[in-house]
Amino acid sequence: MRQIIIIALILSLTNCGTKNTYDENSSINIGYTLTPFNVVLYTCGEVNQRHELNIYTQDNKYYADNVSPYYYIGKRTDSVWTVELDQFRISTCNKFLDKIRSLPKECPVLSTCITRHIITSASDTIIIRGDCNSDSLDFFAFRQIIFQDKFNELELKKSNLIDNLNRSILGTWYYKPFKSSPKHGDYLVLTKANDFVSKCSWEFGTEHSFRSSCNEVLDFTYTEKYAWHTWKDIYLVIQGGIITYKDSSMAVGNDDATFTLEAITDHELRLKYLW
């Protein structure tokens, strides 16, 4: 009887020692609790932006929503991001909250526009004004950790889009040249069949190579490369050209130009000039 009691006691102590182990069927575990909260960050710059994350519980699990801003693949908005939080991300949320609570409510202002954090939970609301030193775990680092897989997927989608655009634009395209320097919003239409009976053409090759046959108005005499950029639109950038002299010194040969892609088919490329 005494042996049975001892064995039962050992089993009881063993179970107590493993209560904090991870249960793969649930994100909420003893030792990994988290207070749900919402964080909004207002930032300043060329464009003022509102960034918002929401951390919450549902069906005995923790989740994070990226409320704003939305992310784009070209002109298309990616879906709202929602991720289930594992132990590492739960721990990161707690560290972020601890860091926020340690910051002063007023910090130095480093620009003409004031950065603001608003962190709301069931127990309180914290408002921090100014540019605080939050070391390595600021809002953007925090968001990157929580949504790392989504960011990886986003970059893959963008890469696939650009690969498709490179294949679509490959070859020689003919166009009727501008008669004077283009203005913001002017359209440029290029065709594969030289519908304009024009000597002017752009040639897009592999490895983002570029060559222009007409350089009277849009001067790309020394340009060798083009590039795509995507964010709420698809931008085609004909890069600036560089002159390299025999002594290896360099100078600007011609400026770059940026267009938005309005449409592309097997036969027609339609661009809108920005700058």
> SS in 3 state form for the chain?
CHHHHHHHHHHHHHHHHCCCCCCCCCCCCCCCCCCCEEEEEEECCCCCEEEEEEEEEECCEEEEEEEECCCEECCEECCCEEEECCHHHHHHHHHHHHHHHHCCCECCCCCCCCCEEEEEECCCEEEEECCCCCCCCCHHHHHHHHCHHHHHHHHHHHHHHHHHHHHHHCEEEEECCCCCCCCCCCEEEEECCCCCCCCCEEEECHHHEEEECCCCCCCCCCCCEEEEEECCCEEEEECCEEEECCCCCEEEEECCEEEEEEEECCCEEEEEECC
Residue 108: the pLDDT is: 85
Question: Is residue 9 in some structural domain?
Answer: no
pTM of the model: 0.76
Same structural domain for residues 26 and 143? Answer: yes
Give the C-alpha distances (Å, rounded to integers) separating 207 from 43, 136, 162, 211.
36, 36, 12, 13
Q: Whose CA is closest to 34, among 58, 56, 59, 65?
A: 56
Residue 147: the pLDDT is: 97
Residue 78: the pLDDT is: 79
Residue 184: the pLDDT is: 97
Question: Is residue 58 in some structural domain?
Answer: yes
Distance of alpha carbon 147 from alpha carbon 143, whole angstroms: 6
Same structural domain for residues 48 and 120? Answer: yes
Along the 275 residues of the chain, how does pLDDT read in single tens digits? 444 333 333 333 333 333 333 344 444 444 468 999 999 999 877 678 899 999 999 999 999 999 999 888 888 887 789 999 999 999 999 999 999 999 999 988 877 788 899 999 998 999 999 988 777 789 999 999 999 999 999 999 999 999 999 999 999 999 999 999 999 999 999 999 998 899 999 999 999 999 999 999 999 999 999 999 998 899 999 999 999 999 999 999 999 999 999 999 999 999 999 99
Let me know how long the chain is.
Answer: 275
Cis amide bond preceding 108, omega within 30:
no
Same structural domain for residues 94 and 26? Answer: yes
What is the number of domains present in the chain? 2
Same structural domain for residues 101 and 217? Answer: no
Q: 197: phi > 0 → left, psi -120 to 50 → alpha, else beta; which?
A: left
Same structural domain for residues 90 and 131? Answer: yes
Domain that includes residue 105, residue range:
22-158
Distance of alpha carbon 62 from alpha carbon 26, whole angstroms: 9
Q: Are 269 and 169 in contact (CB under 8 A)?
A: yes
Name, in order, each residue with C-beta under 8 angstroms of 1's C-beta and a sequence gap of 6 or more: none
Same structural domain for residues 98 and 205? Answer: no
Instruction: Look at residues 128, 158, 188 and tell me which one is the last residue of a structural domain.
Output: 158
Instruction: Look at residues 158, 188, 210 and tell me which one is the last residue of a structural domain.
Output: 158
Distance of alpha carbon 232 from alpha carbon 248, whole angstroms: 39
Same structural domain for residues 153 and 38? Answer: yes
- How many CB atoms neighbour CB 207 within 10 A? 7
